[in-house]
Amino acid sequence: MAVTEVEVEAGTSDPAGNVAPGRVRIERFDVTLGPLLHLAPERQRLASPQFNEIEVIPRGVTLGAEISGVDICSKVPDSTIAEIAAALADYKVIYFRNQPLTSAQHVAFARRFGDLEIHPFITGNEEHPELVRFAKGADTGGFENGWHHDVTWREIPSMGAILHAIEVPPTGGDTLFCDMAAAYDGLDTKTKERIDGLYAIHDYMLAFAQQVPEGRQQEMRERYPLVRHPVVRTHPVTGRKLIFVNTYFTSHIEGLDEVESVELIKHLSGQANTIEYQFRVSWEPDTVVFWDNAAVQHYASSDYYPDVRVMERASVIGTRPY
């Protein structure tokens, strides 16, 4: 008896149409596909901002908002500063367009949120040492194109950073941010249980060894000893749990052998590569970005060589991670 072939019309069905929402794994290539359902509550919460003195326009999924209706070059009222701080806690990364800050105005605005750091390893603005200056071009390479929190090698890392674009290339040079609370929430239960209560050691020498003058290594080590932070820290404002290790400054995890420690740091830091956790800022001259250094890691895209990119950053001192 002959078997009759049944023709199936192409393009009439979704290959995942019979799969319930969630993640699907392709074991052969260690790839996981599908919607990240745990993002939905935060996405919905942030969709309807409630502010009186500033306009907040959500631009990302769980992070990222554009702020308008305020001139940060001028003296900003305390009530407006409070709303900006609230927006930062909610959206983790906020930005302002067309804000031609002078260096003095930049420092004055940043000081409204707390005391400012002076970075010992990166060149500052000549008149205002609180401002770190990043001037990149054909003769000066940028090495910020990796995911990291700033200055986790300090006992008290920065609360946040305010970065002002002074000169930007015609294309490229974007900065990407990753929501490390979303990254933590997306971990499987076994991994969360494994890392609960672990501590990591952070060391400036991993990234800044070449910046230390010859003969001053011991002096700088005494000033900036190895520091110990929880692998999962709690946000001081929102109370959310956050992955707090990175491959720039995290040396190792206490209690683990070297291989296991490195693999775990790589795995946790690698969560920042998940695009659904990210928000990307495309710079224009006089764009100012304020990010929450506890809540997000960032990555400065180094794709604009040999063009020039000049930025200045003020960092606000934070609280001890717990």
DSSP 30-99: TEEES--GGGHHHHHHHTS---SSSEEEE-SSSS-EEEES--TTS---HHHHHHHHHHHHHHSEEEESS-
| Dist. CA 208–CA 248, nearest whole Å | 9
- At 141, the pLDDT band (50, 70, 90 cuts) reads confident
- At 172, the pLDDT band (50, 70, 90 cuts) reads very high
The alpha carbons of the chain give a radius of gyration, in whole angstroms, of 22
Judge if the upstream peptide bond of residue 236 is cis by omega within 30 degrees of 0: no
Look at residue 166 and give its three-state secondary structure: strand
pLDDT at 9: 60
Mean pLDDT of 45-50: 96
Residue 34 has pLDDT above 80, yes or no: yes
pLDDT at 205: 80
Query: Which of 154, 66, 52, 162 minimizes the C-alpha distance to 112?
Result: 162
pLDDT at 19: 59
Q: Which residues are catalytic?
A: 148, 150, 298, 313
- At 212, the pLDDT band (50, 70, 90 cuts) reads confident
| Dist. CA 321–CA 150, nearest whole Å | 13
Whole-angstrom distance between the N-terminal and C-terminal Cα of the chain?
Answer: 74
Q: For residue 66, count other CB atoms closer than 10 A to its CB.
A: 17
Burial 209-237 (b: 16+ CB within 10 A, else e): eeebeeeeeeebeeebeebebbbbbebeb
pLDDT at 244: 98
Amino acid at 89: A
* CATH architecture entry for 43-317: 4-Layer Sandwich (3.60)
Residue 60 has pLDDT above 70, yes or no: yes
> With the C-alpha atoms ordered 316, 319, 320, 322, is the resulting torsion angle positive or negative?
negative
pLDDT tens figures, 12-24: 566 556 656 778 8
Could you tell me the residue ranges of all domains in the chain? Answer: 43-317
pLDDT at 20: 66
Higher pLDDT, 225 or 71: 71
pLDDT tens figures, 293-306: 999 999 999 999 99
Side-chain-side CA neighbours of residue 27 (13 Å): 0
- At 148, the pLDDT band (50, 70, 90 cuts) reads very high
* pTM greater than 0.85 (yes/no): yes
Tell me what the pLDDT averaged over the chain comes to.
92
pLDDT tens figures, 151-170: 999 999 999 999 999 999 99
pLDDT tens figures, 84-128: 999 999 999 999 999 999 999 999 999 999 999 998 888 788 899
Share of the chain above pLDDT 90, in %: 78
Residue 218 has pLDDT above 90, yes or no: no
Mean pLDDT of 70-76: 97
